[in-house]
Structure 1
Amino acid sequence: MRRSWGLSAALVLTVAAGAGGSLAPTAAALTPPVAFTADDLPTWQTNGIVWALAEANDTVFVGGTFSEVRPPEGGTGTPRSAVNFAALNAATGAPTDCTLSFTIGTGTATVRTLVVSPDKKTLYAGGYFGAVNGTPVSSVAAIDIATCTPKAAFTPSFPATVRALAVTDTTIYAAGDFGTVEGQTRERFAAVDTSGALLPFTANADEPGRAIEVTPDGQKVLLGGDFFSVNGANSHALAVVNATTGAVTKAYPSGWIPSNSVVKDIDTDATGFYTGNEGTGGGVFDGRIALNLSDFEQRWRDTCLGATQAVESYQGVLYSASHAHDCSSIGEFPDGRRHHLLAQPTTSTGKLGWMPDTNDGLGEGIGPRAFAISGTGTTKYLWVGGEFTTTNGSPAQGLTRFASGPDTGAPTVPVANAAAVTPDAVHVRWRSSLDLDDSKLTYKVYRNGAATPIKTVTGDSLEWSRPQVSFKDTNVTPGQTYSYRVTASDADGNTSALSATATVTVPTSAEPYASRVIADGANLYWRFDESTTPYAADSSTDNSGLYINAPALRQTPAAVTGPSTAVGLNGTDEQVYSDKRQDVTGAFTVETWFKTTTTRGGKLIGFGNNTTRNSGNYDKHLYMTNTGNLVFGVYNGGTRTLSTLGSYNNGAWHHVVGTQGPGGMTLYVDGQKISSNTVTGNQQYSGYWHVGADNLSGWPLRPTSNFFAGQIDEAAVYPSALTAAQVAQHYSLAKAPADTVSTVTATDDTYANAGAPSTNYAGSSSLAVRGTSAYETYLRFTLPSAPAGTVLKSARLAVKTTTMTGAGSADSQSVVPVTGAWTDTTLTYNNRPALGSGTLGTLTGATDGSAVYSASLDTAALSAALGGSYSVALTSTGTDPLWIWSSEAAAAEGTPQLVLTFGAP
């Protein structure tokens, strides 16, 4: 960034009449200390690259290589000629009446740097050009802001490109490619006074200068660029010099910044200065450095890879423009997609929750290249210029901007999962939502369609770190079905839509296999019971996963008895990886079930340092060879493996476990110990768990494919080495009897109305129940037979109230057997069927609209009817009607339905 130092004064430029744009209101809540929303505002666009931005009193000046500005996508107005320069209103994004053309007789003219004088009266421009509005200049020009005209008397001669400028009350400092100024030797850095006269300041460098800044006290000048020496001193890419003489006061010897890396930008604040760096080749430094102004020593270094082009310090936050694609070296996202706009505290390297994005765009494919912060009122604007052509996925070429408020973007909709493995609790889990300018979000959990949440939870998330959030609902009844939905809200109250409904039936007894895995201390447990991608819930802690390329879900029969399902992988590009970066230290166990006939092998489960791309570090894994053998391996300076002699690609479910503890490594298959050794060490690095794929290069018996083709179920990881007894128990419990749930939707449903005794309501989307004047609802179900070796342990009737006003009822409703014959297309109040004596169950408390309620039913009565057709009626003695959806209604969520739980006698 280019700063000016000294006095300031107020000055306003006129906005062109009729120009399109929009004003932004005052600031709203964001996650501190971020000052700007991630919601991009309508801004006029260029048809080329923006290299430079500067601001003065609600006007933003734009320099670059372009010939036209045009209205934003969907905006009003017509394109205007703009030869490498434009002036735009900071609050509307529309052009002002200031028009300048930067041209040259031979070659391509460009404006590379813009800076405003401390008194806000003069705009200085640098680049490669020979005239401004026809007035001769030589790559540097001074513009009178009030009149928007070049100062004809300011004509210092710079014979090559000027890439950066910094300005004080008396001096203009320049950096670039030049070797002389005004015919005198000034290699890459120089200074002139406000009249254009060359000053004695000399800081000769051997390679181009790209950045220049003056310290706030005006005593020092900070130099950045490609150079390896300044005034003969060994200083690569960065140097501090005396502001009057140019003498080096602080050098940074070659190696402090790698020789294949340069400084592209420098910015300062009251206590420090910050560099944006770019490298080429291996071992580069592409990130940012913070240094103290007190001693010019390093405060921190951000080693993310991805060519930083610009930095801007504002209110304790450093905003940066880059194409950062790998921040694994500082514990953040691994090598993958590019992030073009980031924010971090000026005190540390950790990224903040501000994540708008552009694309790479034109030219070099770098994306954003320049910043400016404007606005004299309460609303401030962060302007971004560069070679991008989109912002936040929508068309926006060359320019975009973000205001200090209001924050209008809602978080993404949560993807919820509900599971119960014991009779006493339901665990509701969801992947944390993403909000581009709020890293702390509030979640509300709603049960059975109620309007009031049963739980409010807060959680943090970043684009590359979206940990699972969970809630344990202990107010549950065994055998009852519950539905849950979740919303996410930011600090300003922007709220997502409700998640899709997650439904679960609480078992009447603990699931044998799952409850034992959890009890044995798993800290990752993926059951693969999801109905949608990409979220894979973790049933142990909060170590959730992501499905890649939409594997086949809900595969049955699964590896274990009960309601669980498996995932099917195609062996080409599908896998699951953990959504949380972590370390694996000391003992561990990896466990999974698989079923396959593949002859290409593949990884079953393992640890690696990347996500969707092949890991560079990878071990602690189980994989299959082409012949169906299984291998368990760790790396401790070399590959250490255990393998089977038998093949397991026979199309049957198999259980495989690898452990490493103080006694060494052990491999188990189908509950039996296969082999072991005394190897106790493994490779230490931060990474992610993978199921179904990851790198296997260099490992013994490497299969043809890294990707596994087949089904996988019940993948678990433990921070300890399971014992042989525990492994054997897991294998045997997979076939232990477990509750199974059968949900049966009504095949026929209608109601009778005493007030219209001859009317048939078979086609109605709603059903009614009341005592007087009477409504009675009739339901028919086809009941399944009990699975072999099981009995009916619980039965519930579930209904959902409609959305009409007063749909709920303060009265209770009785569920009674129907003994007479009926058809839904002919039933009326006059010919309604006879009802049996006694009550099967009672529905109570169904007071809210658009909510699911259920009644426990007599299992003995229903057991006798299993395997056949069975009818029930809903009746009441009260006067408050209950209105519920019929099975014909789209909003019914599968109701009316019977939920039948079968289990061991």
Structure 2
Amino acid sequence: MRRLLAVIGAVVALVFAAQVAAFAEPVPESLAAQPIAGATFKGPVHALAYARGKFFVGGEFAEAVADGKLQQRTHLAAVSPEGDLEVFSPELNGPVYALATGSHYLYVAGRFTEANGHPARHLARFSLRTGAVDRDFDVSVNALPRALELDGTRLYIGGDFNTVNGQPRGKVAAVSTGTGGLVGDFAPMFDRGVRTLEAANGKLYVGGGFTAVGDTQVRKLAALNPDSGAVYSSFDPQDKGLVYDIDAYDGRIYAATGGQGGRVMAYDSGGGTDWERITDGDVTAVSVSRGVVVAGGHFDRLCAGDDLGANGRCLDGVFAERGKLFAVSTGNSVHSWNPGANSVTGTHFLARGGGVLAAGGSFSTFAGGEINRRGLALFPY
């Protein structure tokens, strides 16, 4: 028995030493420890996109605060990487949940029916330069779109809908950026909602809460042929929860997932799990650049093991305290970066551009309540 206890003790010591070594990674050298001063929003930020030297911000707000003054911004705005509120101010009559940018246009999806006073059923396109709605781009979606992905002359749409332009489409569709018409050959039928889309590696990766595409069983994460919509059976991840976000980087697919607790999953090209990092709440956003994975969500802690209890409680102990954001290397070494955001739902979306990591969410403070940043936080890197 003593020998068994000694062996167990040695194993525990080795595991602890490995965790300490993994935790010893410093803050990514160029990632700011706390957000800079800048515009904030009087409501949650659900979506971000970067183009033409500015971040486009979408969400559930009617006002922004810039230089101590309230300014009207109805669910859509633009902010410079330095935090300045731009004059860009289209008007929507409902919240925004997804954005995508092309060379000339901003594509916007959400729970609205009007854009700049004109009919627009859940999807609209605006000039990046002027903010004018493009009335020639007329796409009608019968229920909430939650994801947009622009790939060449196609705009892919994912969400909770069953029809697009009056034609059957099961949670995913593709429309022409020229005409807004459906791409006829692309019509996969997902049984449940889609939350995220990522075009990479010659494929369209789709994440959400689904269990099947047509007659093919596919759970939470799938890779599609971007032309035909056929499922690539060779990509077969064994995902553990609803997929909120996907980012592709250096041959891997990184997924932000929820469930009983949350995870960042790193998959190889065939969907095999390279590694996972477990939290005590949903991970809803992931962004990878320069060898660093940044994740955001509802969590407060990184778990020491994969045994989770009610409400995602870490039954194997807590590896590190992390308030709604954390950073890990692409080799799965946790960085000490911990800006400490508040709120129950925390971070909703992450985007990068102009030397800045932008986080959107329902938070209002960082650094244990010492720094006020409502809805939007900008971290130079």
TM-score (norm 2): 0.85
Please tell me whether the aligned partners of residues 28 and 337 of structure 2 are also in contact (alpha carbons under 8 angstroms). Answer: no
- Establish whether residue 152 from structure 1 lines up as the match of residue 135 from structure 2: yes
Q: Does 1:206 align with 2:191?
A: yes
Q: 2:222·2:236 contact (CA, 8 Å) conserved in 1? A: no
Q: Which residue of structure 1 aligns with residue 374 of structure 2?
A: 397
Q: Is the 8 A contact 2:225 2:232 kept in 1?
A: yes
In structure 2, the residue matched to 1:83 is 74
Tell me if the contact between 2:279 and 2:303 (Cα under 8 Å) persists in the aligned partners. Answer: yes
Structure-2 residue corresponding to 1:313: 288
Count of residue correspondences = 344
Q: Is the CA contact 2:277–2:302 (under 8 Å) kept in the aligned structure 1?
A: no
Task: Give 1:231 shift.
Answer: 2.1
Aligned equivalent of 1:42: 37
> Could you tell me how far apart the structure 2 residues matched to 1:32 and 1:341 are?
13
CA distances 1:63-83 after superposition (whole Å, capped 9, x unpaired)? 001110013xxxx34211111
In the alignment, which residue of structure 2 is the partner of 1:66? 61
Do the aligned residues in 2 keep the contact of 1:299 with 1:347 (CA within 8 Å)?
Answer: no
The CA deviation at 1:58 is: 1.9
Query: Aligned with 2:357: secondary structure?
Result: strand
1:273 corresponds to which residue?
253
Question: What does 1:154-169 align with in structure 2 at a 5 Å threshold?
Answer: 154-169=137-152
SS of residue matched to 1:339: coil
Corresponding residue to 1:110 among 79, 83, 95 = 95
Give the 3-state SS of the residue equivalent to 1:99 in structure 2: coil
Supply the AA of the counterpart residue of 1:390: T
Structure 2 regions of 5+ residues with no counterpart?
1-24, 307-313
Asked if 1 retains the 8 angstrom alpha-carbon contact of 2:55 and 2:79, the reply is yes
Are residues 1:95 and 2:85 paired?
yes
Q: Counterparts of 1:85 and 1:69 in 2: how far apart (Å)?
A: 10
- Equivalent runs, 1:794-873 vs 2, <5 Å: none
Per-residue CA deviations over 1:562-611 (Å, capped at 9, x if unaligned) read xxxxxxxxxxxxxxxxxxxxxxxxxxxxxxxxxxxxxxxxxxxxxxxxxx
Structure 1 residue 325 corresponds to structure 2 residue 307? no
SS of equivalent to 1:227 = coil
Q: Structure 2 counterpart of 1:38, which letter?
A: A
Which residue in 1 is equivalent to 2:160? 177
CA distance in 2: counterparts of 1:304 and 1:240, whole angstroms: 25
Flag the structure with larger Rg. Answer: 1
Report if aligned partners of 1:235, 1:251 keep a CA contact under 8 Å in 2: no
Counterpart in the other structure of 2:337: 354
Displacement of 1:338: 5.2
Distance 1:253 1:373, change over 3 A: closer
Q: Verify the 8 A CA contact 1:174 1:189 in the aligned structure 2.
A: yes
Which position in structure 1 is the counterpart of 2:11? none
Gaps of 5+ in 1: 1-29, 104-108, 405-905
Per-residue deviation, residues 209-243 of structure 1 (Å, max 9, x unmatched): 0011101x4x2100100111012211111111100
What is the Cα deviation at residue 135 of structure 1? 2.3
CA distance in 2 between partners of 1:346 and 1:37 (Å) = 19
Q: Identify the residue that residue 264 of structure 1 maps to in structure 2.
A: 244
Task: Report what 1:369 is aligned to.
Answer: 348
3-state SS of paired residue (1:35)? coil
Tell me how far 1:144 sits from its aligned partner: 1.3
Question: 1:238 aligned to 2:221?
Answer: yes
Matches within 5 A, 1:779-798: none
Q: Deviations over 1:756-803 (max 9, x none)?
A: xxxxxxxxxxxxxxxxxxxxxxxxxxxxxxxxxxxxxxxxxxxxxxxx
**Kept in 2: contact 1:265–1:277 (CA 8 A):** yes
1:832-891, Cα deviation, whole Å (9 max, x unpaired) = xxxxxxxxxxxxxxxxxxxxxxxxxxxxxxxxxxxxxxxxxxxxxxxxxxxxxxxxxxxx
In the superposition, the TM-score normalised over structure 1's length comes to 0.37
CA distance in 1, matches of 2:340, 2:261: 22
Q: Distance in 2 between matches of 1:285 and 1:239?
A: 22
Give identity over the alignment, percent: 29
User: In the alignment, is the contact (CA less than 8 A) between 1:388 and 1:398 conserved in 2?
Assistant: yes
Aligned to 2:324: 340
Write the distance in 2 (CA, Å) between the matches of 1:395 and 1:178. 37
AA in 2 matched with 1:356 = P
Q: What is the 5 A alignment of 1:359-758?
A: 359-360=342-343, 365-375=344-354, 380-392=355-367, 393=369, 394-404=371-381
Q: CA contact under 8 A between 1:327 and 1:335: conserved in structure 2?
A: yes
Amino acid at match of 1:403: P
Q: Is the 8 A contact 2:322 2:338 kept in 1?
A: no
Asked if 1:286 corresponds to 2:268, the answer is no
Contact 1:189–1:202 (CA under 8 A) maintained in structure 2: yes
Alpha-carbon separation, structure 1, partners of 2:97 and 2:44: 10
Whole-angstrom CA distance in 2 between matches of 1:85 and 1:367: 20
Q: RMSD of the TM alignment (CA)? A: 2.1
Asked whether the equivalents of residues 250 and 296 of structure 1 are also in contact (C-alpha less than 8 Å), the reply is no
CA distance in 2: counterparts of 1:285 and 1:174, whole angstroms: 28
Q: CA 1:320–1:299 in 2, change beyond 3 Å: closer, same or farther?
A: same
Could you tell me whether the CA contact under 8 Å between 2:198 and 2:205 is conserved in 1?
A: yes
Aligned partner of residue 37 in structure 1, secondary structure? coil
Deviations 1:479-531 (A, max 9, x none): xxxxxxxxxxxxxxxxxxxxxxxxxxxxxxxxxxxxxxxxxxxxxxxxxxxxx
In structure 1, how many angstroms separate the alpha carbons of the residues matched to 2:30 and 2:359? 15
1:32 deviates by: 6.8
How far the C-alpha of 1:168 sits from its partner, in A, is 1.2
Give the letter aligned to residue 257 of structure 1. D
Contact 1:58 1:89 in 2 (8 A): yes
Q: CA deviation at 1:253?
A: 7.0
The higher-RCO structure (CA 8 Å, 6+ apart) is: 2
Structure 1 counterpart of 2:15: none
Matched residue type, 1:177: D
Superposition deviation, residue 319 in structure 1:
0.3
How far 1:278 moved relative to its partner? 0.8
Supply the AA of the counterpart residue of 2:181: A
**Correspondence for 2:175:** 192
Equivalence for 1:522:
none
Q: 1:220 aligns with which of 189, 203, 223?
A: 203
Q: Deviations over 1:148-167 (max 9, x none)?
A: 21111111111110101111
- Residue 119 of structure 2 corresponds to which residue in structure 1? 136
